[in-house]
């Protein structure tokens, strides 16, 4: 067994490309090895801005043998009456690549047939890898690739070197104009030369001695340790930012942190502006005091060890000063205007080419938030706050700070609202209405923020569906799936019991006046929301059967639908659930096939058996308690009450023929079954289970 090392050396690859590229390369290589009948052990990823590498353990020298059993012609036509092979037998042996003596007779259900075992030739693993690797390397996906020179190939950045080692065997393959070998490049500045590798096991240590930490976990651990030491020396606390740690880790081959400073006058800027300027543009770590207040300093991580850290620190300080000076200027200019001034400027900002301006969106948000306030029985205070928040929710989009730092939309709006003396809940809603900003992100915490966030997302869905901008496959340029999931999450988080159907229809009416088209679009949006809710709840651990069964009845009141799903999932754990479900499914299926009229009343005078009378009496006794449970939202108790009908339903089906010739009796028995189905019709559709 040998270990395999593949390294692709390149000019500096963007930090965000490295992990996805390595993961895709690993998966593709593993699939290719499996297809080539080469088993292997653990795969380890290595990466820096200037190299992508894989270490695959325990590869055999040869691919595994493959034996295939071929079936030939029947024995009766393969041999003549004297037992001599005929032309079909000879042709089969020739096709299988075996002698006639190696052919056996196979007994099958259809008779006796000629059979031959064919063993494919085995190739050395090294030979197979040399053929596979060029295509696998060029097949690594990147958000953007580039061509260089006069080569026809493309990659994230120009490839500068290739290493291929299987044990001590140097693999021979070419990508573009680069031929593989056994030499790696050291650090670009501190060890700019080639280093020989005798085996894959030497890789990590050889590069470590060349000032390159190719092990990403080792590099990250040193990064954490070194920036913490720098912060301690500066008497500061690092503002926690795990995502930035990941980014910086893939910007350097060896981390060398330094503490830089900026003028205290810039602390007048909102914290988010300072942090964003340092983080987004320069990848600096912000520092605070022990109370969480920002300090006029930061940590920059260099890729090279400097002789004079003070000079380096001053250089970083000059760079950030220019950024902060711009931000300070924009901030001061913004403060000369009110949010209402900004709202008027939204008339010139396009929401979407076919959906009007951001000002028109603001007007729709005022309408929808007012409607939502009524739906949740909000008081006058809530109405005032949510209407005001809707009015100024998009105002900061035309502010100078947000134009420069787009990720601060909403955040700057909240800051400016606070400075303008707006109600604290109104100010917070401006920031919160964008939430969640990513999968698993924080949700709004205020009622005003929740209603505004729902209105904003509903309006976007209604607008995009009206303009036929519906997600297809992996394409979702307006993040409508995330918007839909956000709506469901916010409703559940706030336990907001209102009808989504009415809200969606009102939202669509602002884009589409035609009643038929409005109904069609609304139906598509509701199905889209239902689909997202189904997937979300299944991912959370609820059974798909329970989710489908409950949501097929209704999902418009989202918290109510979740209660029904929970109750049904609990009932499904009961030992007698399967026969109970079978009985109720039979009720539903008979009614569906007969297209029974649910409004027909049961006539006791038409009962011909004790089973009919017993079932009717049991339904009457259970109905009152079931309705009381449903009114209280206790669907678990309601289902338990309904489950007591099962013996009566079973007896009814054992003793009674429903589809009799007598129309009056048949209709009455259908009505009796309808009374049973009516008990769980608003809870779940048992035919889905």
Close Cβ partners of 289 (under 8 Å, ≥ 6 residues apart): 236, 237, 295
User: For residue 474, is pLDDT > 80?
Assistant: no
Q: What average pLDDT does this structure show over 419-440?
A: 94
- Alpha carbon distances (Å) from 2 to 47, 167, 169, 577, 599: 21, 5, 9, 55, 76
Q: What average pLDDT does this structure show over 269-293?
A: 93
E strands, 509-592, are none
User: For residue 66, is pLDDT > 80?
Assistant: no
User: For residue 228, is pLDDT > 80?
Assistant: yes
For residue 169, what are the β-bridge partners? 166
pLDDT of residue 15: 93
User: For residue 45, is pLDDT > 80?
Assistant: yes
Please state, in angstroms and rounded to a whole number, the distance separating the CA atoms of residues 365 and 61: 67
User: What backbone phi and psi angles, to 5 degrees, belong to 15?
Assistant: -55, -40
User: For residue 559, is pLDDT > 90?
Assistant: yes
Reduced to 3 states (helix: H, G, I; strand: E, B; else coil), residue 82 is coil
Query: Strand 194-196 vs strand 183-185: parallel, antiparallel, or unpaired?
Result: antiparallel
User: For residue 67, is pLDDT > 80?
Assistant: no
Least confident span in 28-37, 335-344, 472-481, 492-501? 472-481
Reduced to 3 states (helix: H, G, I; strand: E, B; else coil), residue 565 is helix
**Is the pTM value of this prediction over 0.85?**
no
pLDDT tens digits, 315-348: 999 999 999 999 999 999 999 999 999 999 999 9
User: For residue 444, is pLDDT > 90?
Assistant: yes
Close Cβ partners of 99 (under 8 Å, ≥ 6 residues apart): 93
Long-range contacts of 268-274 (CB under 8 A, 24+ apart): 268/328, 268/331, 269/324, 269/327, 269/328, 269/331, 270/331, 270/411, 270/412, 270/415, 272/408, 272/411, 272/412, 272/415, 273/327, 273/331, 273/401, 273/405, 273/408, 273/412, 274/324, 274/327
pLDDT of residue 85: 85
Q: What average pLDDT does this structure show over 142-154?
A: 91
Q: What is the 3-state secondary structure (H, E, C) of 423-475?
A: CHHHHHHHHHCCCCCCCCCCCCCCHHHHHHHHHHHHHHHHHHHHCCCCCECCE
Q: Helix-strand-coil percent breakdown of the chain, rounded to 5?
A: 55, 15, 30
Q: Is the dihedral of CA 443, 444, 446, 450 positive or negative?
A: negative
Other CB atoms within 10 A of residue 423 CB = 16
pLDDT tens digits, 346-388: 999 999 888 999 999 999 999 999 999 999 999 999 999 999 9
pLDDT of residue 160: 94
Cβ(572)–Cβ(545) under 8 Å?
A: yes
pLDDT of residue 337: 94
Cβ(546)–Cβ(573) under 8 Å?
A: no
* Separation of CA 601 from chain center: 50
Close Cβ partners of 605 (under 8 Å, ≥ 6 residues apart): none
pLDDT of residue 539: 93
pLDDT-derived band at 485 (thresholds 50, 70, 90) equals: very high
E strands, 557-674, are none
Please state, in angstroms and rounded to a whole number, the distance separating the CA atoms of residues 86 and 93: 11
Cβ(343)–Cβ(359) under 8 Å?
A: yes
pLDDT tens digits, 639-669: 988 888 889 989 988 888 888 888 888 888 8
User: For residue 202, is pLDDT > 90?
Assistant: yes
Please state, in angstroms and rounded to a whole number, the distance separating the CA atoms of residues 559 and 566: 11
pLDDT-derived band at 420 (thresholds 50, 70, 90) equals: very high
Please state, in angstroms and rounded to a whole number, the distance separating the CA atoms of residues 533 and 664: 43
Which of the pair, 293 or 111, is modelled with greater confidence?
Answer: 293
Q: What average pLDDT does this structure show over 516-520?
A: 92
User: For residue 684, is pLDDT > 90?
Assistant: no
- With CA atoms as reference, report the closest residue to 216 among 161, 254, 185: 254
Please state, in angstroms and rounded to a whole number, the distance separating the CA atoms of residues 9 and 186: 11
Share of the chain above pLDDT 90, in %: 66
pLDDT tens digits, 562-618: 999 999 998 888 887 888 888 888 888 888 887 777 778 888 888 888 998 999 999
Cβ-in-10-Å burial (0-12, 13-18, 19+) of 616 comes to buried
pLDDT tens digits, 75-114: 777 787 777 888 888 888 878 777 877 788 887 777 888 8
Please state, in angstroms and rounded to a whole number, the distance separating the CA atoms of residues 213 and 336: 50
Least confident span in 58-72, 298-312, 421-435? 58-72
Please state, in angstroms and rounded to a whole number, the distance separating the CA atoms of residues 638 and 629: 5
User: For residue 20, is pLDDT > 80?
Assistant: yes
DSSP 250-282: TT-SS-EEEEEE--GGGGGS-HHHHHHIIIIIH
Other CB atoms within 10 A of residue 420 CB = 15
User: For residue 132, is pLDDT > 80?
Assistant: yes
b/e sequence 328-363, b meaning 16+ C-beta within 10 Å = bebbeebeebebeebbeebeeeebeeebbbbbbbbe
Q: What average pLDDT does this structure show over 277-292?
A: 92
């Amino acid at each position: 067994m040998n270990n395999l090392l593949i390294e692709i050396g390149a000019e500096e690859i963007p930090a965000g490309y490295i992990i996805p590229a390595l993961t895709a390369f690993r998966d593709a290589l593993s699939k290719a090895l499996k297809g080539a009948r080469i088993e292997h052990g653990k795969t380890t990823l290595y990466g820096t801005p200037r190299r992508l590498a894989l270490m695959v353990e325990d590869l055999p020298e040869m691919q595994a043998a493959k034996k295939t059993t071929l079936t030939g012609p029947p024995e009766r036509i393969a041999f003549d009456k004297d037992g001599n092979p005929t032309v079909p037998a000879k042709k089969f042996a020739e096709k299988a690549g075996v002698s006639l003596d190696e052919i056996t007779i196979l007994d099958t259900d259809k008779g006796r047939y000629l059979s031959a075992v064919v063993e494919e030739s085995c190739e050395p693993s090294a030979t197979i890898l040399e053929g596979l690797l060029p295509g696998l390397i060029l097949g690594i996906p990147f958000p953007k690739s580039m061509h260089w020179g006069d080569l026809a190939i493309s990659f994230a950045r120009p490839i500068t070197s290739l290493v291929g080692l299987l044990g001590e065997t140097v693999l021979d393959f070419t990508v573009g104009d680069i031929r593989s070998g056994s030499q790696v490049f050291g650090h670009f500045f501190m060890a700019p030369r080639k280093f020989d590798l005798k085996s894959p096991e030497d890789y990590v240590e050889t590069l470590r001695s060349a000032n390159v930490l190719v092990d990403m976990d080792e590099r990250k651990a040193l990064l954490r340790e070194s920036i913490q030491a720098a912060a301690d020396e500066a008497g500061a606390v690092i503002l926690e930012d795990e995502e930035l740690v990941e980014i910086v880790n893939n910007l350097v081959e060896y981390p060398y942190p330094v503490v830089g400073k900026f003028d205290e006058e810039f602390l007048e800027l909102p914290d988010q502006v300072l942090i964003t300027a340092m983080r987004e543009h320069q990848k600096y770590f912000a520092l605070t005091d022990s109370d969480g207040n920002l300090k006029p300093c930061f940590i920059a991580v260099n890729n090279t060890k400097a002789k004079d850290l003070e000079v380096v620190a001053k250089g970083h300080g000059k760079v950030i000063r220019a950024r902060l000076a711009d931000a300070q200027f924009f901030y001061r200019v913004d403060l000369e205007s009110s949010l209402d001034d900004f709202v008027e400027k939204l008339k010139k900002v396009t929401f979407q080419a076919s959906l009007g301006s951001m000002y028109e969106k603001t007007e729709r948000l005022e309408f929808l938030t007012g409607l939502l306030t009524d739906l949740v029985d909000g008081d006058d205070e809530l109405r005032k706050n949510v209407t005001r928040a809707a009015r100024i929710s998009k105002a900061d989009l035309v502010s100078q700070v947000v134009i420069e730092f787009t990720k601060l939309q909403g955040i700057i709006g909240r800051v400016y609202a606070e400075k303008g003396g707006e109600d604290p809940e109104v100010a917070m809603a401006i920031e919160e209405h964008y939430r969640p900003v990513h999968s698993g992100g924080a949700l709004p915490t205020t009622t005003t923020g929740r209603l505004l966030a729902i209105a904003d997302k509903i309006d976007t869905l209604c607008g995009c569906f009206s303009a036929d901008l519906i997600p297809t496959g992996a394409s979702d340029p307006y993040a409508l799936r995330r918007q839909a999931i956000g709506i469901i999450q916010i409703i559940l988080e706030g336990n907001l019991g209102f009808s989504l159907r009415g809200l969606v229809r009102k939202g669509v009416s602002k884009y589409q006046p035609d009643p038929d088209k409005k109904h069609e679009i609304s139906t598509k949006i509701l199905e889209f929301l239902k689909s997202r809710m189904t997937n979300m709840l299944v991912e959370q651990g609820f059974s798909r059967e329970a989710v489908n069964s409950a949501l097929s009845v209704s999902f418009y009141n989202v918290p109510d639908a979740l209660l029904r799903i929970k109750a049904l999932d609990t009932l499904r754990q009961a030992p007698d659930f399967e026969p109970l479900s079978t009985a109720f499914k039979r009720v539903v299926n008979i009614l569906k096939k007969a297209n029974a009229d649910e409004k027909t009343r049961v006539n006791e005078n038409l009962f011909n058996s004790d089973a009919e009378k017993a079932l009717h009496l049991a339904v009457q006794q259970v109905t009152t308690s079931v309705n009381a449970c449903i009114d209280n939202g206790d669907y678990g108790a309601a289902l338990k009450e309904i489950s007591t009908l099962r013996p009566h339903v079973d007896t009814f089906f054992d003793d009674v023929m429903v589809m009799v010739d007598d129309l009056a009796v048949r209709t009455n028995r259908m009505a009796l079954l309808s009374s049973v189905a009516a008990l769980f019709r608003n809870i779940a559709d048992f035919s889905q289970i």
